[in-house]
């Protein structure tokens, strides 16, 4: 059974600071997703990482994937309040989006 672990579960950070969220998973997979969820809303797709060494950046967020270490990271640079949300990683065990297993989520609060 595929297990996906995120840490930390809760993260409070000051505006302007940098931090990294980690996503570890237990079986081989080449496809990993990062989503953002605002309170009361559904998932917003942030990144799709499709191969070992993949790195994608959008604004203050950068995601990377190391399939050998079974690890993905979501790095936040110079955080702003608008980034406050819950972030989920999800691993595709099927390789074709037939089965996503979600991490427990990281609730990020950016403080002024």
Partner 1 sequence: GAVVSQHPSRVICKSGTSVKIECRSLDFQATTMFWYRQFPKQSLMLMATSNEGSKATYEQGVEKDKFLINHASLTLSTLTVTSAHPEDSSFYICSARGDTGDGYEQYFGPGTRLTVT
Residues that bind partner 1 (CB under 8 A): 35, 40-43, 45, 48, 88, 96-100, 102-105, 107
Q: Are 6 and 88 in contact (CB under 8 A)?
A: yes
Which stretches does DSSP call E strand in the chain? 4-7, 10-14, 19-25, 32-37, 43-49, 55-58, 61-66, 71-76, 85-92, 100-102, 106-111
Q: Per residue in 16-25, is it b (16+ CB within 10 Å) or e — as a string?
A: eeebebebbb
Nearest approach, Cβ of residue 110 and partner 1 (Å): 18
Nearest approach, Cβ of residue 102 and partner 1 (Å): 5
Which is closer to partner 1, CB of 12 or CB of 99?
A: 99
Which is closer to partner 1, CB of 30 or CB of 77?
A: 30
Which is closer to partner 1, CB of 77 or CB of 101?
A: 101
Nearest approach, Cβ of residue 105 and partner 1 (Å): 5
Which is closer to partner 1, CB of 13 or CB of 43?
A: 43
């Amino acid at each position: 059974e595929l297990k996906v672990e995120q840490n930390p579960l809760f993260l409070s950070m000051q505006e302007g600071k940098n931090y990294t969220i980690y996503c570890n998973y237990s079986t081989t997979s080449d496809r990993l997703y990062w989503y953002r969820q605002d309170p009361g809303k559904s998932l917003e797709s942030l990144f799709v990482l499709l191969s070992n060494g993949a790195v994608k950046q959008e604004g203050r967020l950068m995601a990377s994937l190391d399939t050998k270490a079974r690890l993905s990271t979501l790095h936040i640079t110079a955080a702003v309040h608008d980034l406050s949300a819950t972030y989920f990683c999800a691993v595709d065990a099927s390789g074709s989006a037939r089965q996503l297993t979600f991490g427990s989520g990281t609730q990020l609060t950016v403080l002024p």
